[in-house]
Homo-oligomer: A and B are copies of this chain.
């Protein structure tokens, strides 16, 4: 059996993504991880600290999945389309729970800089992901914004409709 710390992170990964930050209590985490409460606080200074750790793990996981999903082609438009198909895949896997980073952004007080920084950093990386591919800041940000909307609107309407529409739109945008 894995270490308490690992079990906490594993369970947190599931619960935060599924239920959100505020709806997931320490009690549920330690209970499902089979860990004593004091053990939790041995490894994480606070729930906020756990959140930062979660976001970092999620960041790793999410980009890994994206890379894996998009690899296998060097065709630029194809790679872009695959990024959006990745969203469809994630919606299927996670039942339209949207973006953990944006969800937590909505849950934290405006002055929580520690968490905000991690979220900003994640999205900055995503912006760069598109910029690296397209080498055109206006175009890449354009697509980044369609990508972000695609996540949110599919979460809102529990549907991939606008993701599909985005795919069509960007097909026409790319030279």
**A contact residues vs B (CB 8 Å cutoff):** 19-20, 22-23, 95-98, 102-107, 109-110, 119-120, 123, 138, 141-142, 144-146, 148-150, 152-153, 155-157, 162, 165-166, 168-169
Contact = CB atoms under 8 A, between A and B. Distances in A.
Chain A interface helix/strand/loop/mixed? helix
Contacts of A105: 98, 106, 155-156
Contact of A156 (B97, B119, B141, B146): B119
A138 B165 contact: yes
A152 B156 contact: no
Contacts of A157: 120, 123
Nearest to A142: B169
Contacts of A146: 142, 145-146, 149
A34 B23 CA distance: 29
Contact of A152 (B22, B95, B102, B120): B102
A153 to B, nearest CB: 7
Contacts of A162: 141, 145
Contacts of A123: 153, 156-157
A104 B138 CA distance: 30
Contacts of A152: 102, 148, 152
Nearest to A169: B142
Contacts of A141: 162, 165
Contacts of A20: 106-107, 109
A22 B107 contact: yes
